[in-house]
Amino acid sequence: MERVFMKGCQAIAEAAIRAGCRFFAGYPITPQNEIPEYFSRRLPEVGGVFLQGESETASAAMLYGAGATGIRAMTSSSSCGISLMSEAIGWMAGACIPVVICNVSRGGPGIGSIQPSQQDYFQATKASGNGGFRMLVFAPSTVQEAVDMTYRAFDLAQKYKYPVYILTDGFTGEMMEPVVLPPMRSEEFLAAERKANEAWAVRGRGGAPKAHKIRCGTRFGVRCPLEQKNKEDWEMYERWKKDEIEYETDGTEDAELIITAYGISARIARSAVSILRKEGYKVGFIRPIKIHPFPEIAYEQLDYSRLRGILCAEMSIPPQFTYDVEAVVRKRAPIGTCLRSGGEIIERSAIIEAAKKLYGAK
């Protein structure tokens, strides 16, 4: 297959189109502007619709409406822009609308800075809106992974009839790398999916005695008591813990120290692990590929009798990803951190230094 040199944001948009996305609504905000810009040119070529809303709030509401018709739909923003979308994201979770949401995150809190950051971990995994709902959350560490995860996100949204979230950062969104693009979903495939979605989707009255109503407190277009929906959602979240866990490990079998990270920090940390191994340190590596559901099993399987500690590397101060690591480790090993924030990129040398200190090296 042909490799193409693409910027992260543009690659995400192209992957979405190839996955069958035919509607995008969004609003400009750095560092994700290339996503809506790319969609504005490319969607008309495949018979899709691009809308620039007057705000992030309006764009998310447009996404709700488009997703409710059963077509594949997406939005993107960055950090504080996602915060403005949070009400409508909650609506979509409440109404079981299959859409994809991409956050190319920047420094915070508030308007923060336009540089890359990982300060939206809690927002993505704990509280993307009110009511305690959860989403599947992908965290790519390369442009290729951003492409592959975006492509898969649409299938998962359809599978669970629920929003799926991609949490990346300005570093990954702005850098250029060679990628292999996935195949284009056929129009026959998309037409068959839309036909199947007619059982729940808004499609107009069309001579029927009444039209479908999609609103919060529904599952697959059917109104149900809210507590019942909450329970059914909870059951789905519990199934995700078995069926949707994704992570990678390296060198954990004999490790005396674990370095763990996600997204772009994991990419940097992986190279630090390689250097430390060559220097004779028994260092292992754990990376959550999906950060929700959190891969607790990766940490439960560690041999804590030999561990000197676990080092969490992330671009957030105070730490957020570390919170979930601490919750599963339950004080069975010392936990250290290597942190940057506010748009400052974590450095490999800092991870190596922190790892050696935790390891107990002179």
The answer to whether the CB of 166 falls within 8 A of the CB of 100 is yes
Say yes or no: 235 and 278 in one domain.
no
**27 and 152 share one domain:** yes
* Residue written as token pair 């996955």: 19
Which of 213, 239, 265 delimits the end of a domain? 239
Per-residue pLDDT tens digits for 229-240: 999 999 999 999
**Looking at the structure, do residues 81 and 191 belong to the same domain, yes or no?**
yes
- The reply to whether 214 falls in a domain is no
- Is residue 211 situated within a structural domain? no
The residue among 210, 239, 268 that closes a domain is: 239
Average pLDDT for residues 311-315, to the nearest whole number?
98
Average pLDDT over residues 96-103: 97
Cα 264 from Cα 286, distance rounded (Å): 13
**Residue 240, C-beta contacts closer than 8 angstroms, at least 6 positions apart:** 134, 136, 293
Residue-wise DSSP of 14-76: HHHHHTT--EEEE---TT-THHHHHHHHHGGGGT-EEEE-SSHHHHHHHHHHHHTTTS-EEEE
pLDDT, tens only, 149-189: 999 999 999 999 999 999 999 999 999 999 999 999 999 99
Q: Percent of the chain at pLDDT above 90? A: 89
Q: Are residues 128 and 104 part of one domain?
A: yes
**What's the mean pLDDT in 48-71?**
96
- Residue pointed to by tokens 């009444």: 210
Nearest Cα neighbor of 104 from 131, 133, 128, 78 is 78
pLDDT at site 216: 62
| Res 224: pLDDT | 77
Q: Which of 314, 321, 290 is nearest to 138 (CA)?
A: 290
* CATH number reported for the structural domain that contains residue 336 in this entry: 3.40.50.920
How high is the pLDDT of residue 213? 63
Band of residue 362 on the pLDDT scale cut at 50, 70, 90: very low
CATH number of the domain residue 134 falls in: 3.40.50.970
Q: Are residues 177 and 293 in the same domain?
A: no
pLDDT tier at 202, thresholds 50, 70, 90: confident
Is the pLDDT at 80 greater than 90? The verdict is yes
pLDDT-wise least confident of 79-83, 104-108, 205-209, 257-261: 205-209
222 belongs to a structural domain: no
Same domain, 282 and 177: no
Last residue of a domain, one of 239, 268, 293: 239
pLDDT recorded at residue 118: 97
Nearest to 292 by CA among 128, 146, 52, 181: 128
294-314 average pLDDT score: 97
What pLDDT, on a 0 to 100 scale, did the predictor assign at position 221?
60
The owner of tokens 């010392």 is 334
**Domain enclosing residue 277, as ranges:** 248-359
Q: Which helix (H) or strand (E) holds 195?
A: helix 187-197
Task: Answer yes or no: do 295 and 340 share one domain.
Answer: yes
pTM comes to 0.95
Give the pLDDT band (50/70/90) at residue 25. very high
Q: Is the pLDDT confidence value at 203 over 80? A: no
Can you give the pLDDT at residue 313?
98
| Domain shared by 161 and 39, yes or no | yes
Residue 180 confidence (pLDDT): 97
| Same-domain status, 164 and 289 | no
Q: Is the pLDDT of residue 140 over 50?
A: yes
- Find residue 93's DSSP bridge partners: none
pLDDT band for 17, please (50, 70, 90 cuts).
very high
Mean pLDDT of the chain: 94
Q: Is the peptide bond before 140 cis (omega within 30 degrees of 0)?
A: no
Q: Spell out the SS3 assignment of 230-249.
A: HHHHHHHHHHHHHHCCCEEE
Query: Is residue 207 pLDDT above 60, yes or no?
Result: no
Same domain, 290 and 256: yes
Say if residue 100's pLDDT is above 70: yes
Residue 159 lies in a domain: yes
